[in-house]
Amino acid sequence: MFRKDRLHGTLEDLRRIAGEDNVFTAEADILAYSYDAGSARARPDAVVRVDSAEKVAPLVKLLHGAGVPFLPRLAGTNLSGGTVPLKGGVILNLSPLNRIRSIDTAAGIAVVEPGVVNLKLQEELAKAGFFYPPDPASQRVCTIGGNIGENAGGPLCLKYGVTADNVLGLTVVTPQGETLELSVEDTGPDLPGLFIGSEGTLGIVICARLRILPLPRHIMTAVCSFPSVDSAMKAVASTIAAGTVPRALEAMDRTSLDAAGGGGLRLSDATQAVLIVELDGNSRRELEKEMAETRSFAAAAGSLDFREAADESEREALWAARKGAYPALARLAPNVMVEDGAVPRPKLPEAAARVRAIISDYKLTAGLLFHAGDGNLHPNVIYDERDAEETRRVRKAGHEILRACIELGGTISGEHGVGVEKRLAMNWLYDRAELDLFSRVKEALDPKDLANPDKIIPVSDRHARRKTEPFHSRPAAASNLVSELKYRAAHGIKSRVRGLGTRTRPPSPEGGDACRNRAALPAVGGRAALRPTPDEPEARCSATSPASGRDLDVSGLDSVLEIYGENLTATFEAGVPLHVLRSALKAAGLEAPMPKLDGTLGGLIATKAWTGIRDLLLGLELALPDGTVCRLGGRSVKNVAGYDLTRLLCGSLGAYGVILSATLRVCPAGRAPRFHRPDGPVPAFSPSEVHRRLKKAFDPDNLLNPWIYG
């Protein structure tokens, strides 16, 4: 345990960098930073107010050298204890870093510091006719940096994606005090995807480039009431399955509505749930057609009433009720436990029923809120933490709710993160293999474990195993490949991962000089393999060249594993050719929202030849170089439980592991936007120091495509 007396010699250096008046150790300051919006409590040893982005790196470098734990903090609105300093140390208050550095409407980019309040950014963008999609319920106070740390969502994320889908680049200070400039367009493993949602455990974001969009010309909002939560969820499932993508699709139960004063709605006694449906676009006619379809789905599910907002004031009243439900419940009792599970969308009715049963069994009171279109449910349980027995029941109910989400094929967090309060539940969601991989990633980037320590990864019960089975059986080709990897690892055999050989690129500068005139890097489900040219025998290539290693052919991983039309997801083995993928989806009345490319799905992911693939991926099954299989992500469209290794593996070139299968978002045929086909080869990849550290976390013996990392 870190102790304050170890900080004494560092205080003067902190004051020298941050400024005499920006370092706080008084009892009142310590207490003010010992909690956040979760229930965990822990005291820091000092608080540093950081008033310049340029001061973050030297402060972190000082603390790293002194072995002092540290964590970034902004508004402290997170609900999982993510900014509670479990090991003491120093809290870096980044709230003063609140400049909107630039808004470029022509490029669709806003550059902001982490302390910019979400609503403040929205207001500034609105002046230019633009908006930033992620809109958490706490947007009046939450910050962009906090949104990035938690990979926050919000109602609009149904149509426009979560934070990770709307961040184009980051400036990050590493736990060692080095500054990185990262972009989603960078070649190699997707580092922005890894840092987003990492809760300050891998580094500190000091600047972000955000995607901004023009405000739609038309917005239509309606509210429909239902006799039960189940009937409201059935309407949601029907709407999503039909391919209608509202701007937002939010649900509230009667308890939440009553707490919020009804939002000005005239509710009948029979109303037990309401659904807020909001559509946007540039064609009024199209919106009216979609609203009519939504009305029919609601009627089929048994709606009692369906009313469109007559004007902007009515629309604002509806949203005030939705976004005010949590603070309204907080006025009913001293404490509110906000759970944050997510399930595949067709499972929402069953999930809602199980949550209500759990709340009833434990004799508790809760309001149910749903980002229903995303399958994300928020039971808000009110209680008094001074009542030990009631607190015990609340915690047990919370655990049962999370287990129910897992059993339904979902996850333990859709947007609130893991922090302290869901570490135990990580043991139920993941197997030992995935938890160990998360630990190695953390150790690779923060070997001293100083950056927000003891968050996300469980510190106990590491041998617990998840209670659910994979949603598809592993085909024979994949099982054989896993066995082959185990054999090669046991004998130290290095492998060249090869697929169909349909996509080429310039060779990596890390390859040996004898191989620089070759046509391509090796295949990973679609990346062409290097071969000797006719006048250059393979024997001339060095041990670190692309010709080293034994071929590992992954082109046989070509099965269509699952097309889950109601959920708008599909799972394919990595070797499935993209034209086969398109044909299989077409036969099911679906399509993948991507350009028409050649090669295989695994090759597209491994090369990141089209960067948009990072935003379609929901899950991967990955074989590590030693044959260990990890299941990352799944079929829930929102999932912030653990590091986003699914995005990280985009662009990994087969050097971190072999992708066995991938789960994608899909859409009904004819509903996908049109994309331009990427032109030219993928630029050569030169690994950074961070990439090399991560390579060792995944492949310590450099067994896969070894020349890429030398």
Q: What is the pLDDT of residue 522?
A: 34
Q: What is the pLDDT of residue 512?
A: 33
Q: What is the pLDDT of residue 526?
A: 32
DSSP bridge partners of 276: 223, 250
DSSP bridge partners of 222: 277, 308
Distance (Å, whole) CA 52 – CA 73:
14
pTM: 0.91
CB contact at 8 A, 220 and 291: yes
Tell me the DSSP string of 337-385: EE--EE--GGGHHHHHHHHHHHHHHTT-EEEEEEEGGGTEEEEEEEE-T
Count of Cβ atoms closer than 10 Å to residue 65 Cβ:
13
Mean pLDDT per 10-residue segment, the chain (710 residues): 66 96 96 92 96 98 97 94 95 98 98 98 98 94 97 94 97 98 96 98 98 96 94 91 89 90 76 94 93 94 92 83 82 92 94 96 95 94 96 96 97 95 95 96 98 93 57 84 96 89 44 29 32 30 50 93 95 96 97 94 95 96 97 95 98 97 94 79 89 98 94
Secondary structure letter of residue 179 according to DSSP: E
What are the domain boundaries of the chain? 4-93, 100-214, 218-327, 333-445, 476-553, 560-673
Distance (Å, whole) CA 334 – CA 578:
54
The two tokens of residue 180 are 């990185």
CB contact at 8 A, 321 and 274: no
Query: What is the DSSP pairing of strand 70-73 with strand 90-93?
Result: parallel
Cβ neighbours of residue 44 closer than 8 Å, sequence gap 6 or more: 30, 33, 34, 85, 88, 89, 90, 91
3-state secondary structure 69-107: CEEEECCCCCCCCCCCCCCCCEEEECCCCCCEEEEECCC
Q: Taking the mean position of all CA atoms in its chain, how far away is CA 528?
A: 31
The two tokens of residue 42 are 């822990």
Q: What is the pLDDT of residue 583?
A: 97
Q: Which CATH number fits domain 333-445: 3.30.70.2740, 1.10.357.10, 3.90.1640.10, 3.30.70.20?
A: 3.30.70.2740
Q: What is the CATH number of domain 4-93?
A: 3.30.43.10
Distance (Å, whole) CA 309 – CA 321:
14
Query: What is the DSSP pairing of strand 550-553 with strand 495-498?
Result: parallel
Round the CA-based radius of gyration of the chain to a whole number and report it. Answer: 25
Tokens 């015990």, residue? 392
CB contact at 8 A, 411 and 403: no
3-state secondary structure 10-70: HHHHHHHHHCHHHEECCHHHHHHCCECCCCCECCCCEEEECCCHHHHHHHHHHHHHHCCCE
What's phi and psi for 390, nearest 5 deg? -65, -40
Distance (Å, whole) CA 357 – CA 611:
43
- In b/e form, how buried is each residue of 151-177, taking b as 16+ CB within 10 angstroms? bbbbbbbbbbbbbbbbbbbbbbbbbbb
The two tokens of residue 493 are 């055999």
CA-based nearest residue to 171, from 18, 39, 56: 56
Distance (Å, whole) CA 534 – CA 528:
17
Q: What is the pLDDT of residue 630?
A: 97
Tokens 């046991």, residue? 490
Count of Cβ atoms closer than 10 Å to residue 27 Cβ:
8
Q: Which CATH number fits domain 218-327: 1.10.287.1400, 3.30.70.2190, 3.90.79.10, 2.130.10.10?
A: 3.30.70.2190
Distance (Å, whole) CA 596 – CA 527:
16
CB contact at 8 A, 361 and 581: no
CB contact at 8 A, 382 and 335: yes
The two tokens of residue 82 are 């993510």
Distance (Å, whole) CA 66 – CA 453:
15
Distance (Å, whole) CA 295 – CA 297:
5
Tokens 């080709």, residue? 477
CA-based nearest residue to 548, from 536, 524, 535, 530: 530
Q: Taking the mean position of all CA atoms in its chain, how far away is CA 309?
A: 33
CB contact at 8 A, 255 and 328: no
3-state secondary structure 580-599: HHHHHHHHCCEECCCCCCCC
What's phi and psi for 567, nearest 5 deg? -95, -10
Distance (Å, whole) CA 697 – CA 194:
14
Task: Indicate the SS3 state at residue 119.
Answer: helix
Distance (Å, whole) CA 278 – CA 282:
14
Distance (Å, whole) CA 118 – CA 75:
11
Q: Which CATH number fits domain 100-214: 3.30.420.40, 3.30.465.10, 3.90.1150.10, 2.60.40.10?
A: 3.30.465.10
Sign of CA dihedral 316, 322, 326, 332: positive
Question: 560-673 is classed in which CATH architecture?
Answer: 2-Layer Sandwich (3.30)
Same fold, 218-327 and 333-445: yes
CB contact at 8 A, 343 and 377: yes
Distance (Å, whole) CA 357 – CA 372:
19
How is the chain split among helix, strand and coil, in percent rounded to 5? 35, 20, 45
Cβ neighbours of residue 236 closer than 8 Å, sequence gap 6 or more: 249, 251, 275, 345, 348, 370, 372, 373
CA-based nearest residue to 705, from 576, 557, 530, 575: 530
